[in-house]
Chains A and B, each alone.
Chain A
């Protein structure tokens, strides 16, 4: 955002400078005249929406900090008389299952992200920069895959993965998640736009294709690879349907699947349910706080092939 605005304010070399300056001041004063009322209205609307969008999270947090008995009061209390407590969190974190699911989710998500990036970047580079018989047909086949919703494949995929002996294994959760044709498409478009001079220079120096890819092209593509990587990571961490179908062993469940299964065993212990739900979302909130800029840009670039 900041960079875009700065870019706009830089005087443009093409137009006549004095005229442009006047026009910009005109725009500002115009905006100022309308400002006070409009700005107050905009700020109010922004705040109302922010309250609506944050309230569910805030209420979940407040609930998770109460004693179980204080969660079900009528009328509702924001601050319970007995005060807040971390009891729900200590209970949840002392539950071995939840720790196991957290570890499973982490392993699955990291492996899916690394392997998806490896498969997608090499494929995109191959489609963008190399020639081989059938390249166009194979690329068209890849693009067609963007239209296939993974949900329609659950029945045959379940049969197939089970027949391969991969039900209730990490491999069974991971392998079907590695194919994201949309990401190959996005990366290929990016590689197409990289001028080939650098690669040529490296070739002349005798570098192999794999080395050129790794040492010349990948460093130039850091931002797009990061954007794709963050999205794959979010998708894998949040994936529910496939792990839900292929895993029945509680020791192999991922966090989203485990939470849904365990919900009933918590009974009406809302503080613990909220604590576990928030803990499952926490890694992603932290990632957003660290990488907001990349994520915001990533949505814009990956939006085309997204979902």
Chain B
């Protein structure tokens, strides 16, 4: 640690430093004065932990994906690209990937649209700001276990609140957790309720960032409320929508926790709610095929990177 306290790169005599501080035009040089030689010590602790618990597992996972390693087996041998070749022909991979993509589509649309509506409504300045923000955002703070246990109870077939309300309205009960047609929708409903608050706050911050002068100018031109919404607010929210959309797609693709807990690891009725990450989990920790599970992880990782890069490319093209 002694290097941290070492002298500056250039041993500037004290008077010169005084002058430097007083001269406003010399800030850039001042900046280099702040630079410290022992800076590596500041980043070293983070980098060590980062290397140990992110970089090493990334490389080790890649390594594993070329072996037929299993948690119970004693020997494992190099199999080259066999695991990758096998996953291309594995119907379960395609089925769970399809479920993941379907969930991403079904959840992203309401998660973006509802959060936008919430933010626009709250931004109107109606009294009780604190309460609205609390009501819409509070679920996001709850542990996934809490959220899922609550919804499991709401979805319960005989005594659950949802079917109770449906019966009260004279409608037939729905097999939220038992009907293959509804199995994935239940996960979507739960997820929208749970996480919409995050997007809502992103939109709200963006709305508060729009300068009031823009609206004043439009008001002079006689633009009404809807007009202002459609031709000023929404276009100005385009960048935020891009951000919200990307974060949401990436978050939805990583579906696991709530689907796993809701269906106690069964994948839902007829397996309709088994996402790809659960297939990875089942392959690795239930069937103990670590090499194959790693290969599926990496295929999924590639998909995530493609989505991230596509977003970066689109947003950079829009900017230019």
Contact = CB atoms under 8 A, between A and B. Distances in A.
The answer to whether A and B interact is yes
Given A131-B35, A179-B49, A34 B225 contact: yes
Contact of A130 (B42, B216, B243, B297): B42
A113 interface: no
A122 B48 CA distance: 13
A147 B64 CA distance: 21
Interface in B90-138: 117-118, 121-122, 124-126, 129-138
Contacts of A4: 208
Contacts of B20: 200
A149 B133 contact: no
Contacts of B8: 203
Contacts of B304: 147, 149, 152
A280 B143 contact: yes
A145 B69 CA distance: 26
B33 interface: yes
A123 B60 contact: no
Interface in A3-61: 4-5, 8, 12, 20, 23-24, 26-27, 30-31, 34, 38-39, 42-43, 45-46, 49-50, 53-57, 59-60
Contacts, number: 333
Contact of A57 (B118, B122, B139): B139
Nearest to A122: B42
A84 interface: no
Given A131-B35, A156-B64, A240 B143 contact: yes
B185 interface: no
Given A123-B43, A209-B4, A245-B285, A175 B53 contact: yes
Nearest to B122: A46
Contacts of B254: 149, 151
A140 interface: no
Contact of B261 (A12, A123, A260): A260
B61 interface: yes
Contacts of A234: 141
B294 A155 contact: yes
Contacts of A72: 158-159
A306 B290 CA distance: 29
Given A75-B168, A122-B43, A53 B159 contact: no
A52 B83 CA distance: 46
Contacts of A264: 264
Contacts of B5: 208-210
Interface stretch (B176-184, B197-205, B230-238): B197-205
Interface in A246-278: 255-257, 259-260, 263-264, 270, 273-274, 276-278
A280 B64 CA distance: 37
A159 B56 CA distance: 11
Contact-residue size bin, chain A (C-beta under 8 Å from the other chain): 35 or more
A42 to B, nearest CB: 5
A114 interface: no
Nearest to A2: B129
B95 to A, nearest CB: 19
Contact of A148 (B58, B118, B215): B58
Contacts of B198: 299, 303, 306
A287 B96 CA distance: 37
A274 B152 CA distance: 10
A277 B250 CA distance: 27
Contacts of A130: 35-40, 42
B292 to A, nearest CB: 10
B43 A126 contact: yes
B30 interface: yes
Given A156-B57, A300-B201, A284 B143 contact: yes
B205 A256 contact: no
Given A27-B215, A50-B135, A208-B4, A201 B161 contact: no
Given A155-B284, A178-B53, A303-B202, A285 B136 contact: no
A123 B219 contact: no
B301 to A, nearest CB: 5
B61 A53 contact: no
B280 A126 contact: no
Interface in B262-293: 264, 277, 280-281, 284-285, 290, 293
Contacts of A178: 49, 53
Nearest to A52: B193
A122 B45 contact: yes
8 contacts: A42-B121, A49-B135, A126-B39, A240-B257, A277-B149, A281-B141, A296-B204, A300-B202
